[in-house]
Amino acid sequence: MDTRFDVELVSVSKRYGTTLAVDAISLRIPAASYCCLLGPSGCGKTTTLRMIAGHEAISAGDILIQGQNISELAPVRRGTAMMFQSYALFPHLNCLDNVAFSLKMRGVGKAERHAKAREFLGLVQMADFAQRLPAQLSGGQQQRVALARALIMRPKVLLLDEPLSALDPFLRIKVREELKRLQRELGITFVHVTHSQDEAMALADMMVVMQDGHIRQSGSPREVFEKPVSPFIAKFIGSHNVLSGPSGPIAIRADRCRLGVPGDGPFVSGRITAVEYQGAMVRVAMMTDLGPEAAALMPDRDFYADPVGPGDPATLVWAERDAHAMMEA
């Protein structure tokens, strides 16, 4: 039994009638890792997660969890637990009974299951809210109870469907730190679906970018950011300028570009369309003479040494070694 991988997808497809939502994807998620499935809406990331959870039948292919083929098993027997996008806490049960629900279904006695549920509420710092109903909790608190309810199943793999999308931006950053800490402490694999590249970059050990039912690139966030394989990835990850190079498209990180004068190195000229002050950095967007838009992300000190404004002509320069060649499409 191969347990180097917690989750393995072997050419998994999902078909709805004649449309392919997921097209023969293969993926191996190493043990105890934080994996983010990332992509624009409709790319198949949620469908993939739901197939792993067992809430969606697999049209073709196999899914293995710690080396065991679970493609045909009921959700509860897969060793997975799912946290739903809207948390799906049962509105008629208090926090304690929500968390104890799976134990009750297994016929565990009241005293024992409540003791266990209290322990898991404690794990997410919600012990004081045991008697509250979901309606009496904030979004962040509901999220924690949902987490405790999933973790009490002692899953090998925790599946999270856009867990942060219902939270406000400040809370989102705080909660994602907690998620990462919990994953490290529990030593289990988290598979987290998101459409936010910030979230994926901050959390993931392994980032999987999907589009149109295919995996376009997977790897560590740093690999993906530094070596996007295609213009789609470079644009989706953001902070990249996608231009055409001598042999196919190239990507140059916006923070490696400067405004300057044409010299020996590569350059592109155009006209400035917008200047955004972002605190530590200033983003200067321009329309290049060649057509595509481009931007320079420069330290505020460099920008204010020689400020420019919308409408000014400008030349974007970068070092040859910072240009990253990609494949077409």
Partner 1 sequence: MIVGGPSKAGAVTERKPWTFYALAGVFCLYMAFLYGPMLVIYLLSFQGENGGVTFPMVGASTVWFQDIVKPGQMANIPVSFSRSMGLASVVSIITVVFAVAAGLGFRRRFPGSGVVFYLAVASLVMPSLLVGFGIGLGFQFLGWETSMFTSALGAQLTWTLPFGLFAMFAVVNRFNRSWEEAATDLGASAFQRLRHVTLPILLPGIIGVAMGAFTLSYDEYARTTLTIGTKNTLPLEIYALISSATSPTLFAIGTLTTGGSFLAIGVTLVLVLRMQKRRTAASLKVG
> What residues make contact with partner 1 under the rule CB under 8 A?
53-55, 74-76, 81-82, 84-92, 101-102, 104-106, 133-136, 139, 142, 149-150, 153, 166
Q: Which residue, 56 or 223, is less far from partner 1 as judged by CB?
A: 56
Q: Which residue, 106 or 184, is less far from partner 1 as judged by CB?
A: 106
Quote the DSSP letter at residue 122.
H
Considering the complex, what minimum distance in angstroms separates the CB of residue 92 from partner 1? 5
Considering the complex, what minimum distance in angstroms separates the CB of residue 223 from partner 1? 33
Q: Which residue, 159 or 298, is less far from partner 1 as judged by CB?
A: 159
Considering the complex, what minimum distance in angstroms separates the CB of residue 84 from partner 1? 5
Q: Which residue, 126 or 224, is less far from partner 1 as judged by CB?
A: 126
Reported in sequence order, the residue ranges of 31-94 that DSSP labels E, i.e. its strands, are 34-38, 60-65, 68-69, 80-83
Helix (H, G, I), strand (E, B) or coil at 93: coil
Considering the complex, what minimum distance in angstroms separates the CB of residue 124 from partner 1? 16
Q: Are 53 and 35 in contact (CB under 8 A)?
A: no
Handedness of CA 118, 120, 124, 130 (dihedral sign): negative
Q: Which residue, 150 or 254, is less far from partner 1 as judged by CB?
A: 150
Considering the complex, what minimum distance in angstroms separates the CB of residue 15 from partner 1? 18
Considering the complex, what minimum distance in angstroms separates the CB of residue 121 from partner 1? 16
Q: Are strands 80-83 and 157-161 parallel, antiparallel or unpaired?
A: parallel
The two tokens of residue 7 are 């989750």
Distance CA 259, CA 77 (A): 58
Q: Where are the alpha helices (DSSP H) in the chain?
A: 45-53, 95-105, 110-123, 139-151, 169-186, 197-203, 221-226, 231-237, 300-305
The two tokens of residue 161 are 């469907």
Considering the complex, what minimum distance in angstroms separates the CB of residue 186 from partner 1? 18
Quote the DSSP letter at residue 326.
-
Q: Are 99 and 152 in contact (CB under 8 A)?
A: yes
- Please provide the DSSP assignment of 247-295 as one string: TEEEEEEGGG-EE----SS-EEEEEEEEEEE-SSEEEEEEEETTSSEEE
Q: Which residue, 93 or 202, is less far from partner 1 as judged by CB?
A: 93
Q: Which residue, 102 or 197, is less far from partner 1 as judged by CB?
A: 102
Q: Which residue, 53 or 215, is less far from partner 1 as judged by CB?
A: 53
Considering the complex, what minimum distance in angstroms separates the CB of residue 55 from partner 1? 5
